[in-house]
Amino acid sequence: MQRTIKTVLVIYKADHDKARGMAWTVADWLAERGVTCLVRENLPDAPHVVIPPGAMVTAPPDLALVLGGDGTMLSAARKRLVDGVPLLGVNLGRVGFMTSAGLDDWQDVLADILANGFAEARRIMIEVTVIRGEETVFSTISVNDAVISRGAMARLAAFDVTLGDGDVCTLRADGVVISTPTGSTAYCVSAGGPLIYPGLDVLCVVPICPFLSDFKPVVVPAESPVRLALSAPETNMYLTCDGQELFPLDDLDVVLVTKSERCLRLARRPGESYFERLRLKGFINRP
């Protein structure tokens, strides 16, 4: 349980006037309560602005406050900037499943955290690599998922699927989703996959519109690499990671998904319930 919060990193959604204005409002509010803030836009080379001016920052932030929506949370989490720093999201978007506060209650949430601290939840991340022949041609980190999907042509792809050390099958489908538990509420569930309790150390492989196949969504240990080898020619396929990075695939490319050494750290108020969050966001109905 983190109790003493001396420094907060405030990251706001890029090119978003409301988020920019709110960042200074939040930073001033925290400064009035003795907390030093580092404010920056969610861009790769954005500078930090220290609030109050002239304050000295001698240690890493105790908390990163992300102003935006789930997309901003994902983008911030993937950057090395927040490695080792718990994230707390303030939702300015639509769903905001990863966020813990909104426009109406951020002051109450922050006041509670300043007074009582926060609980930390750790979520796995994945490393996604594309191998072409003997060469690695693409590599990135994802929080939610890696999705292989078709391009403009409505043509099925074929994938040789290997889970861990075992060759499973050749799958014909429109694509495949490889999801972390965090990402199970995104494309995974939309494609027919399960909701997965976020603290589990697993991955989920979900086919998108499989053809003449009884391959069902499968959950595997996160330590088991997921290997998908494209085996059909001229299928015009793309790899998308967290909906934020796009990479065109060639015939016979191999997509390898492994558990990353990095992890996502989330700040939560004690007592927050995953199932209550599912109800609030409309994933399940109240009895």
Could you tell me if 144 and 172 lie in one domain? yes
Could you tell me if 87 and 168 lie in one domain? no
Could you tell me if 132 and 254 lie in one domain? yes
What CATH number did the domain enclosing 91 receive?
Answer: 3.40.50.10330
User: Does 32 reside within a domain?
Assistant: yes
Could you tell me if 241 and 183 lie in one domain? yes
Where in the sequence is the domain holding 195, given as residue range(s)?
A: 126-261
- Kindly give the pairing relationship between strand 36-41 and strand 7-12: parallel
The whole-model pTM stands at: 0.91
Number of H helices, E strands in the chain: 5, 18
DSSP per residue over 136-188, as a string? EEEEEEESSEEEEEE-SS---EEEEEEETTEEEEEEEESEEEEE-SGGGGTHH
User: Looking at the 3D structure of the chain, how many domains does it have?
Assistant: 2
User: Does 54 reside within a domain?
Assistant: yes
Is the sign of the CA dihedral 48, 53, 58, 64 positive or negative? negative
Cis ω before 52 (30° cut-off from 0) = yes
Q: Are 202 and 221 in contact (CB under 8 A)?
A: yes
| Each residue's pLDDT tens digit, 60-70 | 899 999 999 99
Q: Give the per-residue pLDDT at 145.
A: 98
- Local confidence pLDDT in tens for the 287 residues of the chain: 666 899 999 999 999 999 999 999 999 999 999 999 999 999 988 998 999 888 888 888 999 999 999 999 999 999 887 888 999 999 997 777 888 888 889 999 999 999 999 999 999 999 999 999 999 999 999 999 999 998 766 678 899 999 998 898 999 999 999 999 999 999 999 999 999 999 999 999 999 988 888 889 999 999 999 999 998 776 789 999 999 999 999 989 999 999 999 999 999 887 778 888 888 877 877 66
3 state DSSP class of 25: helix
Q: Give the per-residue pLDDT at 83.
A: 84
User: Does 286 reside within a domain?
Assistant: no
User: Does 249 reside within a domain?
Assistant: yes
What CATH number did the domain enclosing 165 receive?
Answer: 2.60.200.30
Gap between the Cα atoms of 235 and 96, Å rounded: 34
Could you tell me if 110 and 233 lie in one domain? no
Could you tell me if 140 and 242 lie in one domain? yes
Could you tell me if 275 and 182 lie in one domain? no
User: Does 285 reside within a domain?
Assistant: no
Nearest residue to 151 via CA among 237, 228, 216: 237
Catalytic residue IDs: 70
Could you tell me if 148 and 191 lie in one domain? yes
Could you write out the three-class secondary structure of 87-127? EEEEECCCCCCCCCEECCCHHHHHHHHHHHCEEEEEEEEEE
Could you tell me if 91 and 147 lie in one domain? no
Q: Which two tokens stand for residue 88?
A: 């707390």
User: Does 287 reside within a domain?
Assistant: no
